[in-house]
Amino acid sequence: MRLLSLEVANYRNIAAAQLEPGRELTVICGNNGQGKTNLLEAIWLLTGGKSFRGGKDAELVRRGETFAVLEAVTQRTRQEDQEPDEPANVRITVGTPDAQRPGRYASVNGSPPKRAAGLAGSFPAVVFDPGHLSLVKGAPEGRRRFLDAALCQLYPGYLATYRRYVRALQQKNALLRHSAGGTERPWAEKCALLEVLNVELAAQGEAIQKRRREYLALLTPLACANYAELSHGAERMAVRYALNASRAVEKIMPSCVGRFIEKRFRPVPEGYQVPENRYFVLGDHRATSIDSRSSVIGCVEKSQIVGKVFLRVWPLSNFSLIH
């Protein structure tokens, strides 16, 4: 992937700037406070709308303005015997809370704007920052963030998996917190919700760990070889992915996840009949939805239904309103 050109307007302390990187190497030099790091940060936003330095939307917009604009032309390169892809025009806008469209949005080749996080995986990049010393000296949380940021670029589906894991974790913590605070749900309902969230956490967590291990397996030989060259062979480096659990638990976790899901979410038997005054509900994604097919959820009472279907769209021959 190559960056052919970049135009920046109202980004941090940059009123307007244009950049056309060289094919091999580009050096950006200048006095302190002129915006060199800000320009690199603008390039990094192409990887998924996030800053490697952090910061709220208002901090990314030049003082006195309500939005910043980044326009880039990128091109995906291929193997030597193949022609490169057609250049892509990427436009990112960052709006302050007072802007007509607050937040970070991106459009590619004139498509309708979408959340800038949707760019993850489309423009791989690597940034070196003095703060990366924390990867060695800092807490494990920083190393996990580093792995996750790289994996979001390498595997577009990883971001969705990571978000599902975080959302399930937040929902579980909220459920436990509310229960402790006196907002009590019926015991059976609380247990069912915890079962659902535990299974979601186990499944998504296993997928995340699998990707992290695969990435480290690719990264470790390169990192060790580079470190050996830098130290002239005087020192050796090792990289290992360690869970916050014993190695025995680490080895059996994949099979445990499978057995847990099979036990807790055993599908309803063939020929099952819906009890009277109950409703059998299905999710909109048959492959992943947790619904009445699960023995934990089962059929629901009418009082638990908060919406009503009024339009049937499939099959098209039966397109009609439902009364």
- pLDDT tens, position by position, 92-144: 999 998 888 898 998 888 888 788 777 877 788 888 877 778 888 888 888 88
Cβ-contact 67, 10 below 8 angstroms: yes
Is the backbone peptide bond immediately before 315 cis, with ω within 30 degrees of 0?
yes
Among 4-13, 95-104, 172-181, 293-302, whose mean pLDDT is lowest?
172-181
Q: Provide the whole-model pTM.
A: 0.57
Structure tokens at 139: 């807490």
Tell me what pLDDT residue 188 has: 64
Give 43 or 188, the one with higher predicted confidence: 43
Tell me what pLDDT residue 251 has: 53
Tell me what pLDDT residue 235 has: 86
d(CA 220, CA 240): 8
Cβ-contact 11, 80 below 8 angstroms: no
Domains and CATH numbers, the chain: 2-119 (3.40.50.300), 130-264 (1.20.1050.90)
* Nearby residues of 313 by Cβ (< 8 Å), 6 or more positions away: 319
Cβ-contact 69, 93 below 8 angstroms: yes
Structure tokens at 102: 């607050």
Residue 11, number of CB atoms within 10 A of its CB: 25
Return the CA Rg of the chain: 25
Tell me what pLDDT residue 248 has: 46
Tell me what pLDDT residue 256 has: 54
* Nearby residues of 150 by Cβ (< 8 Å), 6 or more positions away: 215
d(CA 296, CA 290): 9
Rounded average pLDDT over 191-203? 82
d(CA 180, CA 173): 11
Tell me what pLDDT residue 246 has: 46
Q: Which of 117-131, 209-223, 230-244 has the highest mean pLDDT?
A: 209-223
Rounded average pLDDT over 9-36? 91
d(CA 144, CA 209): 10
Tell me what pLDDT residue 192 has: 74
Residue 137, number of CB atoms within 10 A of its CB: 7
Rounded average pLDDT over 294-304? 77
> What is the pLDDT confidence band of residue 10, given thresholds at 50, 70 and 90?
very high
Sheet holding 2-11, edge to edge: 14-19, 2-11, 67-75, 88-95, 103-108, 114-115
Tell me what pLDDT residue 263 has: 52
Reported as a single tens digit per residue, the pLDDT across 73-84 is 988 776 555 566
What does the angle CA 219 – CA 222 – CA 224 come to, to the nearest 5 degrees? 100
Rounded average pLDDT over 294-308? 77
Reported as a single tens digit per residue, the pLDDT across 244-287 is 654 544 554 555 555 555 555 566 677 788 888 888 888 777 66
Give all strands (DSSP E) within 113-233, no chain letters. 114-115
Pairing mode, if any, of strands 14-19 and 67-75? unpaired
Phi, psi of 122, deg, nearest 5: -90, -20
Among 30-44, 93-107, 213-227, 281-295, whose mean pLDDT is lowest?
281-295
Tell me what pLDDT residue 249 has: 47
Pairing mode, if any, of strands 114-115 and 88-95? unpaired
d(CA 92, CA 150): 21
Tell me what pLDDT residue 9 has: 95
Rounded average pLDDT over 196-210? 88
Q: Percentage of residues in the chain with pLDDT exceeding 70? A: 85
